[in-house]
């Protein structure tokens, strides 16, 4: 049975986005430093919010048989992020093709202890990821035309 067609985006796919989040206590180690595993969902939030800006959600894509799987992920930790810091996840679509999408990320502390850091935003981490599009059986498939990059 053929998949129903995916909705057409209401807006062009942005090439970048910013998500702010407050570091929760459950994301930290006993020294109140954000655990390295907390960063992965933060970066996912950055990617999915870029897509949401088009008017098509990742849930819409899955419902129509398009699944984006992480095939490569790299993250460099530069400075600690602490409990209750306000963090910006800055995400940029950096490349891709007919089947994959590449992103670059910056994680920046914009507020610590209730105020902007005196030296300005703190460059906490930077990374990259590559996502591949697959079907329900896990076989590669082309991205929707409006999402593919040439």
CATH code, domain carrying 106: 3.10.129.10
pTM score of the predicted model:
0.91
The band of 42, judged by pLDDT with boundaries at 50, 70 and 90, is: very high
**Does residue 83 belong to any structural domain of this protein?**
yes
Instruction: Flag whether pLDDT at 3 surpasses 70.
Output: no
Number of folded domains that form the chain? 1
**Does residue 4 belong to any structural domain of this protein?**
no
**C-alpha torsion 44→15→7→149, nearest 10:** -100
> Would you say 63 and 6 are in contact if contact means Cβ atoms under 8 Å apart?
no
Mean pLDDT, the chain, whole residue set: 94
The band of 7, judged by pLDDT with boundaries at 50, 70 and 90, is: confident
Tell me what pLDDT residue 125 has.
Answer: 98
- Comparing CA positions, the residue from 129, 128, 46, 117 lying closest to residue 81 is 117
**Does residue 148 belong to any structural domain of this protein?**
no
Burial 19-54 (b: 16+ CB within 10 A, else e): bebebeeebbeeeebbeeebbeebbbebbbbbbebb
Tell me what pLDDT residue 149 has.
Answer: 83
**Does residue 122 belong to any structural domain of this protein?**
yes
What is the tens place of the pLDDT at every residue in 18-36?
Answer: 999 999 999 999 999 999 9
């Amino acid at each position: 049975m053929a998949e129903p067609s995916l909705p057409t985006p209401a807006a062009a796919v942005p090439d970048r986005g910013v998500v702010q989040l407050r570091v929760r206590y459950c994301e930290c180690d006993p020294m109140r430093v954000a655990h390295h595993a907390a960063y992965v969902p933060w970066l996912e939030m950055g990617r999915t919010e870029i897509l949401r800006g088009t008017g098509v959600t990742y849930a819409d894509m899955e419902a129509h048989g398009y699944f984006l799987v992480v095939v490569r992920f790299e993250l460099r930790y530069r400075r600690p992020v602490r409990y209750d810091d306000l963090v910006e996840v800055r995400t940029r679509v950096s490349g891709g093709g007919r089947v994959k999408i590449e992103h670059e990320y910056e994680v920046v502390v914009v507020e610590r202890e209730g105020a902007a850091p005196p030296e300005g935003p703190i460059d906490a981490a930077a990374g990259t990821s590559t996502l591949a599009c697959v079907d329900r059986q896990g076989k590669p498939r082309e991205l929707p035309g409006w999402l593919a990059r040439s």
